[in-house]
Amino acid sequence: MVIGVLASGKGSNLRVIIESIKSGSLPVDIGIVLSDNPEAGALKIAKEKGVKALYVPPGRHKTFLEKEVEKKYVSALKEAKVELVCLSGFMRVIKEEFFSAFSGKILNIHPSLLPAFPGLQAWKQAIEAGVKFSGCTVHFVERDVDAGPIVMQAVVPIEEDDTPETLHHRIQKKEHIIYPLSIRLFAENRLRIKGRRVAVL
């Protein structure tokens, strides 16, 4: 199966996905990496590792891509024969062009135990709320932000002296385990969406 990765930031999840493919534990190919940020670490990692990567200018909006720009993203993914889109720290809400081209074929990783703390800086929200545990969630992407059916979650404790940075670091270590694993389950055709729930065969 060919996957496409969309990333705006440092790209640690992309790195782990590439390493998992190389070590043989993730049976997919990355067709293309797309970014809305020309400085994204993810673009550098892709180039270093010999994975095709492209900066696609995001247009004039800050939080989403306008229709014409979405079309460019979708056609780059289609041209690369992508069958599963993996959002990996992509900082824009995706809309109709993506949903009509890749319905049920878009995954995201979010740094909290959804439905708690959707939105930005979820690790900071968790500390501010005083919860004792947080974690990360891989979910299918639907029109509501950070709200689609959940594939997998991992839990981390929150320590008294945690800062947003130390907690995010602890959460990311778990992301690096559950994202490749979830992508693998999808590639092996073992995920079935039943309403709000995802069954793993």
For the annotated catalytic residues, the residue numbers are 110
Q: Going residue by residue from 66 to 95, which x/- string records binding to ligand GRF, judged by CB under 6 A?
A: ----------------------xx------
Q: Burial code of 144-167, b = ≥16 C-beta within 10 A, e = fewer?
A: eebbbbbbbbbebebeeebeeeeb
Applying CB under 6 A, the span of 3-11, 19-27, 92-100, 153-161 interacting with ligand GRF comes to: 3-11
Q: For residues 111 and 148, which CB has a smaller minimum distance to ligand GRF in the complex?
A: 111
Q: For residues 136 and 191, which CB has a smaller minimum distance to ligand GRF in the complex?
A: 136
Interaction between residue 170 and ligand GRF (CB under 6 A): no
- CA–CA gap between residue 201 and residue 77 (Å, rounded): 28
Structural contact between residues 20 and 39, judged by C-beta atoms closer than 8 angstroms = no
- CA–CA gap between residue 21 and residue 5 (Å, rounded): 13
- CA–CA gap between residue 95 and residue 142 (Å, rounded): 9
Q: Going residue by residue from 8 to 47, which x/- string records binding to ligand GRF, judged by CB under 6 A?
A: -xxxxx----------------------------------
Interaction between residue 146 and ligand GRF (CB under 6 A): no
